[in-house]
Amino acid sequence: MFEHTFSNVFFIFASKMKYTIKNIAELAGVSKGTVDRVLHERGKVSAKALEKVNAVLNEIDYKPNLLARSLKKTRNYHICVVLPDFNKDPYWSPCNEGIEEAIEEFASFGVFIEPFFFNPNDIKSFIKVNKKVLELLPNAVLLAPLFYKETIEIINKYALSNIIVSKFNNQLEINNTQNFVGQDLYKSGRIAASLMKEIISKNATIAIINIDEDSNNAIYVQEKEKGFRSFFNEIESYNIVTWNCKQQDIDAKLLDFINENIALSGIFVTTSKVYTIAEFIKNKKIEHIKVIGYDLLDENMLYLKNGIINFLIHQNPKKQVYLGLTYLVDYFLFDKEIPAKSLLPIDIITAENLETYTEN
């Protein structure tokens, strides 16, 4: 270790001392300008000076003060979040909380976060909103890429304007995605299956129900279905059937579907719309069917608590946006790298541990 002392520095933690560029300059016997040039490899440094500075840098553990760095290059950063309108689909409602928290928290650092909502049932609305955002020329966009083809196009346009794009919730291509925050949907399906297996008896029939899933975001639901089926394929002796339906058809057709499959003892709903099935089951007083679905919507939580839904899988949309925004902010302010792929844990929610996820 170096044994030098600085006039202006009070050694509190001997070896763990925080060095500044000025300190390094003094130790190396050069000016802070030279140290700066060495640190940033800006050239214009003589071999002798380079050596002196590097000698010091090798001895100490210099970490630039990120507060000072970020303050110096103070800029106002603008991040837009593009996501479905939660009035059209309550699944997205928690995202809003996450965004509001991020707005509040990061405003003090000069980061301005702005949400933009589109209609998840209307591709045109998705395109329109993105066009509007593009015109604002923000520094970055955090996007829920619901529509495959249109997202590819808009991402290219953003790229032309040097706007960073991160995605959340839906993986655009299932592999090789960049800047993505979300969950592994295939695994999520497998987990649902493993839970189902624990709570129903052998040789039973299990239904996978996809509600209101048109071809657009069907790929995401299909991943879950694949995962679910893969689990049972490995153990056999279960009969898995898939039913695609519209929400308004449930009342008219679900009873027929149940009667057609007499051994039916488990239903896996691939989205947050599981409450519609639960409602039906409750009204018809069907007691032998176990239900697993997605997400902590108010209605879902109600049916979970009174035992009609047995398990919910938590996709944690709030954490997804918040984390996505955190990555972008850390990138702008502190030069942190944005993780190419951030897969959140897949939480299993029961009536008992539910409140530990909703508190605070």
Partner DNA sequence: TGAAAAAGTGTGCTCGAACACATTTTTTAA
Partner DNA sequence: TTAAAAAATGTGTTCGAGCACACTTTTTCA
Contact pick of 74, 239, 247, 248 for a copy of itself (by CB under 8 A): 74
Contact pick of 31, 39, 50, 70 for a copy of itself (by CB under 8 A): 70
Does 237 participate in binding a copy of itself (rule CB under 8 A)? no
Q: Which of 126, 79, 84 is nearest to 103 (CA)?
A: 79
Question: What distance, in Å, lies between the first and last C-alpha atoms of the chain?
Answer: 46
Q: Give the shortest CB-28-to-DNA separation in angstroms.
A: 9
Contact pick of 97, 100, 153, 198 for a copy of itself (by CB under 8 A): 198
- Among a copy of itself, DNA, none, what does residue 359 contact (CB within 5–8 Å per kind)? a copy of itself
Does 307 participate in binding a copy of itself (rule CB under 8 A)? no
Side-chain-facing half-sphere of 288: CA atoms under 13 Å:
11
Q: Give the shortest CB-343-to-a copy of itself separation in angstroms.
A: 6
- Among DNA, a copy of itself, none, what does residue 231 contact (CB within 5–8 Å per kind)? a copy of itself
Q: Is 311 helix (H, G, I), strand (E, B) or coil?
A: strand
Integer Cα distance of 92 and 86 in angstroms: 5
Beta strands in the chain (DSSP E): 77-84, 111-118, 140-143, 164-168, 180-182, 205-211, 239-245, 264-269, 290-294, 311-314, 341-343, 347-349
Q: Give the shortest CB-103-to-DNA separation in angstroms.
A: 17
Does 167 participate in binding a copy of itself (rule CB under 8 A)? no
Q: Give the shortest CB-194-to-DNA separation in angstroms.
A: 49
288: exposed, middle or buried (C-beta count within 10 Å: 0-12, 13-18, 19+)? exposed
- Among a copy of itself, DNA, none, what does residue 176 contact (CB within 5–8 Å per kind)? none
Q: Is 343 helix (H, G, I), strand (E, B) or coil?
A: strand
- Among DNA, a copy of itself, none, what does residue 31 contact (CB within 5–8 Å per kind)? DNA
Q: Which is nearer to DNA, 69 or 246 (CB)?
A: 69
- Kindly determine how many residues on this chain lie close enough to bind a copy of itself according to the rule CB under 8 A: 53
| Sheet order of strands, 311-314 included | 239-245, 205-211, 264-269, 290-294, 311-314, 347-349
- Among a copy of itself, DNA, none, what does residue 22 contact (CB within 5–8 Å per kind)? DNA
CA separation, residue 324 to residues 46, 148, 328, 329, 357 (Å): 43, 20, 7, 9, 20
Q: Is 180 helix (H, G, I), strand (E, B) or coil?
A: strand
Cβ atoms of residues 277 and 209 within 8 Å: yes
Q: Give the shortest CB-347-to-a copy of itself separation in angstroms.
A: 6
- H helix intervals, 109-249: 123-136, 148-160, 185-199, 218-233
Q: Give the shortest CB-91-to-a copy of itself separation in angstroms.
A: 19
Does 337 participate in binding a copy of itself (rule CB under 8 A)? no
Residue type for 205, please?
Answer: T
Contact pick of 184, 213, 225, 295 for a copy of itself (by CB under 8 A): 184
* Stretch of 48-56, 151-159, 255-263, 349-357 contacting a copy of itself, by CB under 8 A: 349-357
Q: Which residues bind DNA (CB under 7 A)?
A: 8, 18, 20-22, 30-34, 36-37, 39-40, 43-50, 64-65, 68-69, 71-74
Residue type for 258, please?
Answer: I
| Sheet order of strands, 77-84 included | 111-118, 77-84, 140-143, 164-168, 180-182, 341-343
By CB under 8 A, name the binding residues for a copy of itself: 12-13, 16, 18, 61, 63-68, 70-71, 74, 76, 78, 107-110, 112, 114, 183-184, 187, 190-191, 193-195, 198-199, 231, 310, 333-334, 339, 342-348, 350-353, 355-357, 359-360
